Amino acid sequence: MAVEIRVPALGESIVDAVIATWFKSEGDEVKQGEALVELETDKVNVEVSAEQSGVLQKILKQTGDVVTVGEVLGMVGESDEVATGIHQETALSEKVPDRQSPNGQEQQSTSQVLDGQKSVSPLARRIAEDNKIDLSQVKSNSPHGRVTKDDVISYLEKTSRQQTSGSPVAAQQSWDTNVKTPVTTVEAATREASPGHTVSQIQMQPAPRGREEHVRLSRRRQTIAERLVEAQHTAAMLTTFNEVDMSSVMEVRARRKELFKERHGVSLGFMSFFTKAVVGALKAFPRLNAEIQGNEMILKYYYDIGIAVGAEEGLVVPVLRDADRKSFAEIESEITDLAKRARENKLTLVELQGGTFTITNGGVFGSLLSTPILNAPQVGILGMHKIEQRPIVVNGQIVIRSMMYLALSYDHRIVDGREAVQFLVKVKDFIEDPETLLLEG
């Protein structure tokens, strides 16, 4: 008996996803529990596994399609059902009556087979219709004869090269699968032509090929863009700066790093010091550990610290829960694990949700100074930067010290400038005298 492959529950507030990759093709054998397809959400990627062993009979949704929770992606059945299923599908497609388009021309059902052999993905059909392409002329490169968007785009490129070859006026097209109307260099030149001049009077050159690439934004990248813009539009965001002398922390690390790693199996980094310092400062200035809900300010007396990690698919912020209750070793171990799994795209949704305050370290990429954007609905984020040796004045003497710029962005709607400055000074004091972290942090 065939079993439907459905989009599983994706987590709180996530209702749809994009099909990132099919690991199997129609007709391939599958085993129970084997991953069939990967779905891309705005937070994590989710693999959908086979509920039974058998054969992947049908793929109903293609790579790039947007799907919702519960939607059917395909069918898995026993191997002896494949021939029967194909036969029934073919018979049904032959019985489907032709529909009439508005202009009276016959239009085939999407379930019908083109020219007796080719089926077409919905995205490929849309691109073909938008560009007035006869799909019977498009060659499929799929082993199952299905025409995909890549086949249609390849056909467009081939046709474009043939049309522009040897012509003094190149009407070379560029297109994006998400954009319905192709844009030609002729049209662009027409828009830019000055009054009294026609296109034929303008010397046009072919658009440079191979110097542009149209890449669909991933669901995560789209969400990052939306939320960062939303944060700037909704919060009264302001940033204050300070600098911190890292000499004491570096001296402690130099003395203790080997023993620390031998005992705990993890390196002693800077993040544990800053996490402890932030927790201590949040206890002193609780409005930085709050959020706004309507006309209320929600003060939080737990400390779930988000640690920003730059992954290949985009920035993610896994959360270090109850950071105030953890030791240096526990903080370093958890951060190392979260960062590793973030880069491997193996974080769970729970590990990305919540968070009361965020720390981001642009210094690992060489950033000297920046203004971090709030991670809404949080009202504070601390930006760390690279350590540089600089001359500073200590007790009237010019000395060389290892210095770091710190940046605190905050929501001015509930955090006053005085609080923000004092919070950052508190973090600075903890870092410059790390023994106080044991007493107050």
CATH code, domain carrying 45: 2.40.50.100
Which of 9-18, 132-141, 243-252 is predicted with the least confidence, judged by mean pLDDT?
9-18
Provide the mean pLDDT of the chain. Answer: 80
Residue scoring higher pLDDT (209 or 324):
324
Residue type, 194: S
Cβ-contact 335, 320 below 8 angstroms = yes
Cα–Cα distance, 208 to 206 (Å, whole number): 6
Mean pLDDT of 35-40: 86
- The answer on 375 and 307 residing in a single domain is yes
In a domain, 104, yes or no: no
pLDDT on residue 208 = 60
- The answer on 89 and 139 residing in a single domain is no
Predicted confidence (pLDDT) per residue in 313-332, tens digit: 778 899 999 999 999 999 99
pLDDT on residue 261 = 93
Instruction: Give the pLDDT band (50/70/90) at residue 421.
Output: very high
Domain final residue pick, 60, 95, 130? 95
Highest mean pLDDT among 111-115, 169-173, 191-195, 282-286: 282-286
- The answer on 294 and 181 residing in a single domain is no
Q: Supply the range of the domain harboring residue 172.
A: 114-201
pLDDT on residue 81 = 53
CATH code, domain carrying 122: 4.10.320.10
Instruction: Give the pLDDT band (50/70/90) at residue 163.
Output: low
- The answer on 347 and 435 residing in a single domain is yes
- The answer on 424 and 281 residing in a single domain is yes
Q: Which helix (H) or strand (E) holds 241?
A: strand 237-245
CATH code, domain carrying 422: 3.30.559.10
- The answer on 63 and 126 residing in a single domain is no
Cα–Cα distance, 380 to 426 (Å, whole number): 14
In a domain, 213, yes or no: no
Mean pLDDT of 81-96: 45
- The answer on 122 and 229 residing in a single domain is no
Other C-beta atoms within 10 Å of 117: how many?
A: 8
Cα–Cα distance, 239 to 326 (Å, whole number): 29
Mean pLDDT of 329-357: 90
In a domain, 107, yes or no: no
pLDDT on residue 144 = 61
> Dihedral through CA 280, CA 283, CA 286, CA 288, nearest 10?
10
Q: Which of the 8 DSSP states describes residue 294?
A: T
| Cis status of the peptide bond prior to 102, with omega within 30 of 0 | no
pLDDT on residue 13 = 61
388: β partners: 403
Highest mean pLDDT among 64-68, 274-278, 306-310: 274-278
Structure tokens at 239: 């940033």
Which of 200-209, 283-292, 321-330, 344-353 is predicted with the least confidence, judged by mean pLDDT?
200-209
In a domain, 145, yes or no: yes
Domain final residue pick, 139, 174, 201? 201
Mean pLDDT of 201-218: 66
- The answer on 227 and 331 residing in a single domain is yes
Q: CA angle, corner 345, sides to 344 and 350, nearest 5?
A: 130
pLDDT on residue 216 = 78
Instruction: Give the pLDDT band (50/70/90) at residue 402.
Output: very high
- The answer on 235 and 196 residing in a single domain is no
Q: How many residues does the chain have?
A: 441
pLDDT on residue 26 = 86
Cα–Cα distance, 29 to 81 (Å, whole number): 12
In the chain, how many domains are there? Answer: 3
Mean pLDDT of 133-159: 79
Instruction: Give the pLDDT band (50/70/90) at residue 173.
Output: very low
In a domain, 209, yes or no: no
- The answer on 367 and 262 residing in a single domain is yes
Mean pLDDT of 407-422: 96
pLDDT on residue 244 = 97
Tell me the pTM. 0.59
**pLDDT of 366 above 80:** yes
- The answer on 146 and 289 residing in a single domain is no
Mean pLDDT of 64-70: 85
Cβ-contact 175, 156 below 8 angstroms = yes
- The answer on 363 and 225 residing in a single domain is yes
Mean pLDDT of 213-219: 79
5: β partners: 74
Instruction: Give the pLDDT band (50/70/90) at residue 428.
Output: very high
Q: Which residues are catalytic?
A: 412, 416
In a domain, 136, yes or no: yes
Residue scoring higher pLDDT (137 or 196):
137
Mean pLDDT of 175-184: 43
Residue scoring higher pLDDT (63 or 245):
245
In a domain, 386, yes or no: yes
3-state class (DSSP) for residue 339: helix
In a domain, 28, yes or no: yes
pLDDT on residue 320 = 96
Cα–Cα distance, 340 to 441 (Å, whole number): 27
pLDDT on residue 210 = 67
Cβ-contact 5, 36 below 8 angstroms = yes
Q: Where are the beta strands (DSSP E) in 388-434?
A: 388-394, 397-411
**pLDDT of 252 above 60:** yes
Cα–Cα distance, 299 to 288 (Å, whole number): 9
What is the percent of the chain where pLDDT is above 90?
39
